[in-house]
Structure 1
Amino acid sequence: MSDNEGEKLRWYNLGLMGFVSVWGFGNVVNNYANQGLKVIVSWVLIIALYFIPYVLMVGELGSAFKDGKAGVSTWIRETTGASGRKLAYFAGFTYWVVHIPYLAQKPQSVLIALDWAIFPDSKFMDSFSTLVAQFLILGIFIFFMWVAAKGINSIKKIGTIAGTAVFVMSLLYILLVVTAPMLRGVEPATTNITFKSIMPEFNFAYFTTLSMLVFAVGGAEKLSPYVNNTKNSSKEFPRGMMILAGMVAICAILGSIAMSMMFDANNIPADLKMNGQYYAFAILGDYYGLGNTFVVLYSIANLLAQISALVFSIDAPLKVFLAEADEEYVPKSLLKTNENGTPITGYKITLILVGILIIVPALGIGDMNSLFNWLLDLNSIVMPMRYLWVFLAYVALRKAKEGTFNLEYKFVKNSKLAMVIGSWCFIFTAFACIMGMFPKGVEVFSSQWIFQITLNVLTPFILIALGFIFPTLAKKNKLK
């Protein structure tokens, strides 16, 4: 980005960029499936008390370390003193390893989108047993890992166009559903909308759904490189973030209302997380007399977007982890690349871990819907763990002596208040991840509940424990 003022980003550019990168229709569907109408108040609370502070902290960190190449790893290394190198390694490692459950689920999403695109009236996937379907899903993953290893970028570019199409169709969905009662005389599926029906009960069951909300609004650190490309960043960056928060809030609330008009909040389909996006567009086609047009168009666009996300997520997190690799903690074998710059050893480790997460759960989780829901919940437990490093870096930044870092933009001027807010976001994220480990929609203490909670607890610990193996291997390499 040039320093020419005419080419600087404005607050509305940032707001739109952030909205496209952070938000998705699945966020509405998944959280409505978890909470029903009560999610409306939950959205207001999570955006006001968590999302807004989060994005503004990211802005401050990005401004302080504008020349850093490794994002969160750079922030950690620069703010945590003597232990900075080791912690930076773990931050980079966490960024990569939390994508493993994500990669295990993406091929499922690819197969489901393909199924809806070809068979919108009947589900071909239903004819497979869970284990057979998972082996098919593993085959899909291996194929696209081969594609990613070849350094093929065309799929990613196609996915960007498809992702934009999905985004536009998601906004169109909200508009067409909200206006359907007036335009088409449609009767809402949920009729008893009262203050009590939208107010959450802050009990144990409710707290187990928080991780999905955190998962939905995470990823704002992607915007950090643009802080210093913003015109009058101290004023316009926070303004852009507030616009982003407002757009997310409007789409989350209106999207939830639109879902309630289609799906009775008191009788939510069991497979809404897996098929809800497609059900929504299928019903929308019925509303406007267009048959399967909407659902097929959405399925094709989503299929291409999911493929692109899969290819990108195989490659990018690993390269971010290795971008500023410290040979004291990362063995040289992990840095080995092919002629396309692909870290081959890292790909092999990724394949082993993803293969285990695809096949092993199928042995104890009986049907595809339960397996999909479990993997989605596991993502909401594991993926937010990378946000913990953002808040740790922020607290360390504001704890440093005045003048240690050049802070062109401050989210909060008072350092003590800033540390309190950073600590709150850290604690809330950790709490949401822990509570998310408790299975939902499964009879408590049943064999499947025990199987799921065991995997939910063991998976993050095993993935993080791998981070202690690499430094040991690196040390042995240096001794040799």
Structure 2
Amino acid sequence: MAFVNVIGFDDIIYNFKNQGLGVITSWIVLFALYIIPYGLMVGQLGSTFDDEGGGLTTWVRETSGETLGYFTAWTYWVASIPYVVDTANSVVVAIGWLIHGNNSMEKHMSNVLFSLLTFIIFVIFILIQSHIQHSIQVLSIIGGGAMFLMTILFVVLTGVDLLQGGAISSAPITPSVFVPKFNLHFLSTIGLLIYATSGSELVAPYVTRMKNPKKDFPKAIMLMTVMAGFLTIFGSLSLGVFFNHYHLPVDLKMNGSFYAFQIVGEHLGLGKTMLYAFIVAQLLYMFALLALLLDAMTRILVSDTGPKYMPSKLLKVNRRGIPINGYIMTSSLCAGILLLGVFLPNMNEIFNWLLNLNGIVSPFVTCWIFFAFIRVRQKKNQFPASYVFIKNDRLAILVGGWCFAVTFIAATMGVFPQDVPFGSGPYWHELTLNIITPIIMVAIGCILPLIARYEQNKTLGKN
């Protein structure tokens, strides 16, 4: 389940589009200095609070009080909204490729229809989550396994193609192509790198379902980190074989995964077999991811937030323990995000903007993890754990502070648009949306406690 939420073939494509082969160096540095300690911190937090089911919200609430716990839950939940929208968009794109066998859907579909189909996907998955028990576990096993195997297969087939004399599209390859260009564009893309490899904490609400949480959760996080590192580095190398590093397609973020398997199939004389195999794997993976997101993010907000901050209707659960009204609120805000994107020039711009928005809001929320870790290490006697990341408390706090600073700076720089020319009309449009959207999200979170307080005062008045 952690792997499904953390990394997919699309995540490799997105960052290859942003940095070309230079992203390989970025991946190596990021995993060595950030992702590995990130995963190990999550492992300690998960084992420290293994009797709790709220994950990140619990970690902050237990270490810093109810108010910060609520705002952690809200910001984590609301930051997942663009992620859910982006995932549902990817489902629509994959269905278009399944039907047409190419990218022609975007040429005939209006922005309004694209948004409408995305919203329908939400409704379908809410129904699935409300009526099918254990659907998340089943979808995660199938979807995560399919995507992992397809990504491994892509790397292997790249090697086969080279052994058969296949040409390298990015030639000439010199050491300089692996060095990222340190400019404003590069700084604006770091957030998307962090977004691509973060999210392991989302499975923390399920840690109590493991046979031996204190030992198994840290092991699972480490294994997931190793898998993700292998796929990102070797996957990026493989992309450099089939795509020209110097001239990448404009729509690579939206359609690059499909282009990749289409090309490798053609090079090996398999026709479109590899393309359709990947489309099926992509749909299974996106179904699993969407199901996990809709369930876990809503549970974190509703199930682990007290009535002091949350209106009573949102706390209500159905007979299966599912916060159905929370699902409805999720879909409503997703519809609002979709409405904002309708006014962008085309489907590709909508897709890219939503993706890049994730590179802003997701890292900002990830900062809570390092905040909670620092608080735990400051109060180590109060929060003992069977697994401890770095025995020395001062060094552990220093590493936590480093990760916090990197994440906060990356999120802030992500506000600058990445996929449109600087100073153009779309650039200022997206920059405005990137600033206003997070502000609106936080403002709504401040309203809910006021509604809850009004309900409580009204009840006291009756009594």
Q: What is the TM-score when the length of structure 1 is the normalising length?
A: 0.88
2:222 and 2:455 mapped to 1: Cα distance?
49
Contact 2:143 2:287 in 1 (8 A): no
1:131 and 1:275 mapped to 2: Cα distance?
20
1:426 corresponds to 2:404: yes
Q: Please identify, of 38-47 and 158-167, the stretch whose mean Cα deviation from structure 2 is larger.
A: 158-167
Q: Please identify, of 450-459 and 404-413, the stretch whose mean Cα deviation from structure 2 is larger.
A: 404-413
1:468 and 1:122 mapped to 2: Cα distance?
42
* Distance change >3 Å, CA 95–CA 113, structure 1 → 2: same
Contact 1:135 1:359 in 2 (8 A): no
1:43 and 1:318 mapped to 2: Cα distance?
31
2:219 and 2:400 mapped to 1: Cα distance?
20
Residue 159 of structure 2 is matched in structure 1 by 178
Residue 368 of structure 2 is matched in structure 1 by 389
- 1:48-447 aligned within 5 A: 48-80=32-64, 84-121=65-102, 123-151=104-132, 154=135, 157-158=138-139, 160-182=141-163, 184-222=164-202, 225=207, 233=215, 244-363=224-343, 365-400=344-379, 403-447=381-425
Aligned residues: 456
Select 1:461's aligned residue among 414, 432, 439: 439
* Distance change >3 Å, CA 131–CA 47, structure 1 → 2: same
Q: Please identify, of 247-256 and 413-422, the stretch whose mean Cα deviation from structure 2 is larger.
A: 247-256
DSSP-derived class of the 1:397 partner: helix
1:238 Cα offset (Å): 6.7
Gaps of 5+ in 2: 459-463
2:120 and 2:113 mapped to 1: Cα distance?
11
How far does the alpha carbon of each residue in 1:386-436 deviate from its partner, in whole angstroms, 9 at most, with x for none? 321111111111112x52222333212221221111111111111111111
1:231 Cα offset (Å): 10
1:336 Cα offset (Å): 2.4
Task: Percent identity, please.
Answer: 37
How far does the alpha carbon of each residue in 1:279-309 deviate from its partner, in whole angstroms, 9 at most, with x for none? 1111111111111111111112212332332
Select 2:11's aligned residue among 27, 44, 48: 27
* Distance change >3 Å, CA 428–CA 196, structure 1 → 2: same
Q: Please identify, of 351-360 and 216-225, the stretch whose mean Cα deviation from structure 2 is larger.
A: 216-225
Gaps of 5+ in 1: 1-16
1:191 Cα offset (Å): 0.9
Q: What amino acid is aligned across from residue 349 of structure 2 in structure 1?
A: S
1:314 and 1:218 mapped to 2: Cα distance?
17
Q: What is the TM-score when the length of structure 2 is the normalising length?
A: 0.91
Q: What amino acid is aligned across from residue 313 of structure 1 in structure 2?
A: L
DSSP-derived class of the 1:208 partner: helix
1:414 and 1:379 mapped to 2: Cα distance?
34
Contact 1:148 1:312 in 2 (8 A): no
DSSP-derived class of the 1:431 partner: helix
1:271 Cα offset (Å): 0.7
DSSP-derived class of the 2:448 partner: helix
- Quote the RMSD (CA, aligned, Å): 2.5
1:103 Cα offset (Å): 2.0
How far does the alpha carbon of each residue in 1:424-465 deviate from its partner, in whole angstroms, 9 at most, with x for none? 111111111111111012122222111101111111121122
